[in-house]
Amino acid sequence: MTAILVSVAELSNIFSVLAVLICFCGVFLFIMRNMMVLRVHGDDLMFGGGGGGVITHSPRIPQMEMMKVHIPFTFKLHESFRSTYAEVECEVSSQVEYSLQAIWGVCIRELHLALWKPWSTLRDASLNGTLLQGHAQYLTPPQTRQPHDEETLRLSLPAPGLELGIPPRLCYPLVIFLIRRDNRDLHPDETVALVNVVHIRDSVCTLPTSILAQYLKQANGQLSCLKQLYLATGNSSNYDESDAMSSAGLGSPALALAEPCNNNDTTNGTGGGRGTLVASGQSGEQENGSLWNTAGEQLCVVCQYFPLSRALLPCRHTCICASCFDKLERCPMCRSPIKSYFCIRSEEYMPPEKEINPCKQRQPSHGPTHWLHDWNDRLTDFLGFAR
């Protein structure tokens, strides 16, 4: 009996040592399997800060509602021409009959008050030549033009002596109206006018000659301010109307964002509307180093695998795909926080989630170690790590 008790005591010590070794090996395997998780989230666990970790937060970022709008006009300043008050060179095209009028020395406040008037009032004033009469220094007679392709026009000041004052100025140097002339019943969302506010460099205000703002007027009375979308290149010919927002545009064929203006803001007309956004064409900022796939689609700047499909707001950089968007909280181009986004094309190119990241959906394990994986996953979830 004594021998049996001694043997049991010796075995119990061996079992204790084996239990300690098994626990040690389990902890070691757990650390090895989750080393990447610990490295990514280590700063968050120790210091509670952002830590630069990769955080999936797409449900918290709203997608903005978009509406397709066809713009029959294009307008841009001629880049190779040095514009002065004596002469401004621009390129214009139109798909409809329209009226072109250049107005010099326009009161800023009265311009935005006029833009918010009903479409019928704005059209009648343009036809009668009374648009902004009494609120501008020089009005050139409106020119009725038929549809035409891109054409170079030169606009000149009728008389010298344009008085704009010292900055901050209360007048725009030049405002160019492109207004539809057809009287047929238009769809409420159709674009009926394109208003271009142009700054001309002078000795007092030495900012480069450029387009200060462009406004879209729709038949339903909605006024929107066009803003550029910054593509990795200025070429968006592959984003046609079936994929993107519009088939016509301003300047070279690319995409732009039209933000609805606030009716209460009559000072600068930019407003803060966050309702339906309108997309159309506008030349974008060109950057080098972009990649293209064999289908001619521009690739995401992060993964360089999927075509880019999302425009980030408020920075308006159009540079990432749907897959990489779920892993970002800041724009990869300018590092500004992502507040919202909208799609510039369909995202049918995305494969199922299982194919994008097979690690997210673990296949059922078979064999003698499946219980170890199960307990490992439960412990990982309990500690708050991402699998």
Q: Would you state the structure tokens that stand for residue 164, as one six-digit string?
A: 């704009």
Q: Would you state the structure tokens that stand for residue 22, as one six-digit string?
A: 């098994």
**6/176 Cα distance (integer angstroms):** 105
DSSP at 60: G
> Is the full-model pTM beyond 0.75?
no
pLDDT digits (tens, 9 = 90+) for 333-385: 888 999 988 888 778 777 665 444 434 444 444 444 456 667 777 777 766 66
CA 211 to chain centre: 20
Tell me the pLDDT band of 286, cut-offs 50, 70 and 90: very low
The mean pLDDT of 197-212, rounded to a whole number, is 90
pLDDT digits (tens, 9 = 90+) for 102-124: 999 999 999 999 999 998 898 88
Q: Which residue has the higher pLDDT, 325 or 278?
A: 325
Specify whether the backbone of 48 is left (phi greater than 0), alpha (psi in -120 to 50) or beta. Answer: left
* Amino acid sitting at position 129: G
Q: Would you state the structure tokens that stand for residue 321, as one six-digit string?
A: 């795909």
Output the pLDDT for position 232: 60
Output the pLDDT for position 387: 55
pLDDT digits (tens, 9 = 90+) for 211-250: 999 999 988 888 988 887 777 654 444 444 333 333 233 3
Output the pLDDT for position 263: 63
Tell me the pLDDT band of 272, cut-offs 50, 70 and 90: very low
Smallest Cα–Cα separation from 88: which of 159, 5, 152, 134?
152
Output the pLDDT for position 147: 93
**44/292 Cα distance (integer angstroms):** 37
Per-chain mean pLDDT for the chain: 74
| Cβ proximity of 245 and 212 under 8 Å | no
Beta bridge partners of residue 46, listed in sequence order: none
Output the pLDDT for position 135: 94
Smallest Cα–Cα separation from 250: which of 178, 311, 320?
178
Torsion of CA 346, 352, 353, 354, to 10 degrees: -170
**124/83 Cα distance (integer angstroms):** 31
**110/130 Cα distance (integer angstroms):** 13
Output the pLDDT for position 16: 77
